[in-house]
Structure 1
Amino acid sequence: MSDIQDAIKSEVDSNDVVLFMKGTPQFPQCGFSGQVVQILDYLGVPYKGINVLADADLRQGIKDFSNWPTIPQLYVKGEFIGGCDIVREMFQAGELQEFMGSKGITVSGAA
């Protein structure tokens, strides 16, 4: 496993909710990352945003890590959830809120 893969695994393992995204939670650099940030903020879920634009190795590394071709990527308790479409569909169906709750993550936003 490469250094970047070790670094990604460390972030995923040490943070309950991690969003690998383009930009930062305060300033998303793409619409898809922005949508996931809005959903997480709406739910009131604490998470760590990691800007893949800051590091080309990271940008490719996260795609290899998850075997998923696009950014953003959401991880909860070490489990890859998916990208923007999956997160949005889960949120609209109420499944994301239930999933977070089942993992012991407090959701303060309206379900």
Structure 2
Amino acid sequence: MSDADTRIASVVGENDVVLFMKGTPLFPQCGFSSRAVAILDHCGVQYESVDVLQDMEIRQGIKTYSEWPTIPQLYVKGEFVGGSDIMMEMFEAGELQQMLDDNKVAKIEG
């Protein structure tokens, strides 16, 4: 297992919801990452984000780790869910919210 794989596995294992994205939730650096953030924010759940633009090892490593070629990538309870298109389809069908509820993902306080 590479150093990048170890770091990815650690962040995925330690957080209920992880979004590997370009940029940050406050400043997404691509439209797909912006859409993914908007979906998660609308679902009202707590999530960890990883800015792949800050670490080239993670940027390449996440594609190998998930066997998925594009970013952003969403993980829920250690399971790879998909990219922004899959997130949007699941969100529109109510499946993403159901998955988050079924996994008892923490809601944002407020």
| TM-score, normalisation: structure 2 | 0.95
Equivalenced residues, count: 108
- What is the rounded CA distance, in whole Å, between the counterparts of 1:64 and 1:85 in structure 2? 19
Aligned residue for 1:15?
15
Aligned residue for 1:4?
4
Letter in 2 for 1:56: M
Q: What per-residue deviation string (whole Å, max 9, x for no partner) do you get for residues 53-87 of structure 1?
A: 00111100000000000000000000000000000
* 4+ aligned runs moved over 2 Å, structure 1: none
C-alpha deviation, 1:94, in angstroms: 0.3
Aligned residue for 2:99?
99
- What is the rounded CA distance, in whole Å, between the counterparts of 1:36 and 1:79 in structure 2? 16
Letter in 1 for 2:104: G
- What is the rounded CA distance, in whole Å, between the counterparts of 1:49 and 1:79 in structure 2? 15
Aligned residue for 1:76?
76
- What is the rounded CA distance, in whole Å, between the counterparts of 1:99 and 1:2 in structure 2? 30
Q: Alignment identity in percent?
A: 60
SS in 1 for 2:20: strand
C-alpha deviation, 1:90, in angstroms: 0.1
Letter in 2 for 1:58: I
Aligned residue for 2:63?
63
The question of whether the paired residues in 2 share the 8 Å contact of 1:100 and 1:107 is answered with: no
- What is the rounded CA distance, in whole Å, between the counterparts of 2:56 and 2:38 in structure 1? 25
Aligned residue for 1:34?
34
Cα RMSD (Å): 1.0
The question of whether the paired residues in 2 share the 8 Å contact of 1:101 and 1:107 is answered with: no
In structure 2, the gaps of 5 or more residues are none
